[in-house]
Structure 1
Amino acid sequence: MRADRLVALVLLLRQRGRMTAAQLAEELEVSPRTVLRDVEALAVAGVTIEAERGRYGGFTIDPGLRTELTGLTQDEALALLAAGTRHGAGAFGLGSALASAMLKVLDALPPPRREAAAGARRRLLLDPEVDLLSRRVPREDLPDAVVAAVRRAVLDGRRLSLLHAAPGGEPRRRTVDPVGLVTVRDLGYLLALRDGEDRTYRLSRIREATVLDEPARRAADVDLEREWRERSARFRAGDGQLAVRLLLHPRRREELLDTALAVLHEEPGPPQDPERQLLEVTFQDLRHAEWALWQLGTDAVALTPDALRDALRERAAAFAAAYARPRPD
C-alpha cells in the first residue's frame, strides 16, 4: 500500500541520512520515478524533504521528525531485530510487513540506543542464502495472494476453499476450517479441519485460496504448540513408512535428520565400529531412503532392510562401472 511505502521512505531517510532516488527505489522496490512522486506527496502533506543536486546529492529529512519508544531497552530492540528474519516472516507472507516493522522499531528508539542497535544488527546474520560450503539453502516460493488469503481466514475465523496438490497428485478443491499456521525450518503449514478431521497442508502446495463468508467450525481456543506436536507424532507413526537401521558418522547426523521423518532409536555404534552411531529412522518409502542415504556417501551404512542395501549396492555398482570405462577422447 502507498501509505506504508510513504512511512517507510520517511523512516529510511531518518535512519540513513542522505539517500539518492535510486537508493530509495532499491530499498522500497519501486522505480525512481515513483520515489519522486512519493516525495512530492509527502511535501504536500507537510513533511519537508530537501533535495540536493549534484554528484553527492540526494534527499534528506529534518532529523527532529520522529517519535520515541523509551520503554524498549537496547537488548530488547536488538532481540526484535534479530528474531525477525525475512525467511520466517516470508513463510506467512509477512516479509514486507516485517521490513516495515523493523524500520519503525529502529526509528522509535532514542538516538543513542537507535545507533547502537543498528550497529549491532549489522554484526548479526541469521539464515543467509548459502551455507558455509556455498550451497544455496532452498526456499519455498509462496504466492502472496494465496498466503494472504490463508492468513486472513485463520485470523478472522472463516472457512477456506483451497486448490491443493498433494505430492505426485492432481490439484483438488477442498473446503476446510483453518485452525492455525506453523512454520518449521522456513516451511509453512496450515493446520485445518476437513469434515471434522485433522488435516495439515504445506502452504507451497496450495495453488489457490478463497476466504468464504461462513464462520470456521473450530474450537474457540487452541494450543497450537500441542496441536502441532500431536499431529507430528501421528504423521511419524503413519502407515506405509519404511524403518531403516543404519550406522552413521556423527558429523552427518544433522543432514540425516533433515531428510528422515523420525528417529525411533539411537545408541552408540558396535565395538568394531566405535566412531559411528547406530540409529533406527523412518523414511516415506524405499525410494526416499535410497536417495537420503546416497547423499551421505560412506558415512552412512544401511543395515536393514535388505531391499535398501540391494538398491544402494546396485546404484554404487552402476556408478563405479561408469568410471571404469575408458575416458572418451
Structure 2
Amino acid sequence: MRASRLVTLLLLLQNRGRMTAKELATELEVSVRTVYRDVEALGAAGIPLYGDSGHAGGYRLLDGYRTRLTGLTAQEAQAAFLAALPATAAELGLGEALANAQLKLRAALPAELREHAGRVQARFLLDAPGWYGDADDTPYLAGVAAAVWERRAVVLRYRRWRAPQEIERRVEPYGLVLKAGRWYLVAAGASGTRTYRVDQIDQLRPLDEEFTPPDGFDLRRYWDDYLADFRARLHTGEAVVRLTPEGARRLGVTPPLAGEWAEVRVPIESIAHAHGEFLRLGADIEVLAPPELRDRIAETVRTLAIRYPR
C-alpha cells in the first residue's frame, strides 16, 4: 500500500510540478504528517526531491528528472487497454496514434503487467455501435474533431426533422460525444448551446476564428443534463394496460402469477409510439386507456384481420 502511494506521490510531482504538503495530502487522502514521512523516504531512496519554504513553497523534483515508472497496477494496466476503442480512434483520425501509444505503454510496463494487458486484448472486445442498422456515415467527423480540438468556429449546414429541415449556422464546437455508436456535437451558436448529430451535417466550413468556451462549462455535466431533459420529455403520457405474465416480462414490469392478468400503468412517449410498441406484444396485452390508443390499436387489428383472412 505504501509503495503504491510513494509512486503516486512521485508521479504527482512529475506531472504537476511544485505541490505543497497539504495539496499532496489531499490528493493521496492521507495526513500531512504522512506526506512528510513519504518525502523523507523518497529522499533516502535517492530521488532528487527538495522542498521550498515560504508562502510559495512546496515540494518539487529536480529540473529534468523523469521517472520511468508508470505507477500502474495490474488492474490499471488492464483498464488502459480495455478502454481503447480502435474503431473510434480511427474515425477521429487517431488510429495510428492509438496503436503507437499502446505499443509505448506496453513497452514501458513490467513483464507481468504486459501479460495482463495482453490477456485483456485477447479476451475482451468493445463494440460501441448497436445491433441494428449500418454505422452512421460521418464524412465530417474528422473536421468537427479538429475544430473542437483547435477551438475554432465553423459554419455547418445541417439536416433536422422539423421545418426548415435544412439550416446553416455558425457555431463554436465545445465537444464531441459518442453515444451508442452515434456521434453528437455540442456547440454554441446564436440560439445557445445545442446538440447536433454529426451524421446529419451536410457541409462543414472551418473559419479562421478562435473562441474560448465560457468559464465553468463542463462537457460531462452538459451531457448529463441533456440526457435528463431528454428523458423527461420522452415519457409525457400514461397508458393503462392488462398484461399476461409473458407480456409483463417483455414490457419489463413485475409479472403477475402464472395464468393471471395484471393491470398496470405504464409511461408512454406518444399515442403513435405506444401504438407500435404495444402491437409487438400481440395477444399478451390489452390496452384499457387512453381511449384514443385503444381505438387505434383496435382499428389496426381489424385491418390485419381483413388482410389475413383464414
The interval holding the TM-score normalised by the smaller chain is: 0.5 to 0.7
- SS of corresponding position for 2:239: strand
Matched, 1:82 2:90: no
Distance 1:96 1:180, change over 3 A: same
Matched, 1:189 2:187: no
Paired amino acid for 2:120: A
Match of 2:306 in 1: 321
CA contact (8 A) 1:91 1:183 kept: no
Paired amino acid for 2:197: R
Distance in 1, matches of 2:285 and 2:91, equals 32
Distance 1:220 1:282, change over 3 A: same
Using the size of structure 2 for normalisation, the TM-score is: 0.61
TM-superposition CA deviations, 1:27-72 (whole Å, max 9, x none)? xxxxxxxxxxxxxxxxxxxxxxxxxxxxxxxxxxxxxxxxx86433
What is the CA-CA distance between 1:147 and the residue it aligns to?
0.9
CA contact (8 A) 1:70 1:110 kept: no
Matches within 5 A, 1:152-163: 152-163=146-157
Paired amino acid for 2:176: L
How many pairs were matched up?
Answer: 236
Q: What 5-or-longer segments of structure 1 have no aligned partner? A: 1-67, 131-135, 255-266
Distance in 1, matches of 2:251 and 2:113, equals 41
Match of 1:44 in 2: none
What is the CA-CA distance between 1:237 and the residue it aligns to?
5.0
Match of 1:71 in 2: 71
* Partner of residue 202 from structure 2, selected from 207, 219, 228: 207
Report sequence identity in percent. 33
CA contact (8 A) 2:158 2:200 kept: yes
CA contact (8 A) 1:160 1:176 kept: yes
Matched, 1:121 2:116: no
Distance in 1, matches of 2:133 and 2:286, equals 26
Distance 1:120 1:228, change over 3 A: closer
Using the size of structure 1 for normalisation, the TM-score is: 0.58
What is the CA-CA distance between 1:174 and the residue it aligns to?
1.5
* Partner of residue 144 from structure 2, selected from 150, 156, 175: 150
CA RMSD of aligned residues (A): 3.7
Q: What 5-or-longer segments of structure 2 have no aligned partner? A: 1-67
What is the CA-CA distance between 1:76 and the residue it aligns to?
1.3
Distance in 2, matches of 1:303 and 1:75, equals 53
CA contact (8 A) 1:85 1:126 kept: yes
What is the CA-CA distance between 1:219 and the residue it aligns to?
0.6
Matches within 5 A, 1:251-270: 251-253=249-251
Distance in 2, matches of 1:107 and 1:246, equals 61
Match of 1:6 in 2: none
- SS of corresponding position for 1:149: helix
Matched, 1:290 2:275: yes
Distance in 2, matches of 1:139 and 1:96, equals 24
CA contact (8 A) 1:152 1:211 kept: no
Q: Mark the structure with the bigger radius of gyration.
A: 2
Distance 1:228 1:116, change over 3 A: closer
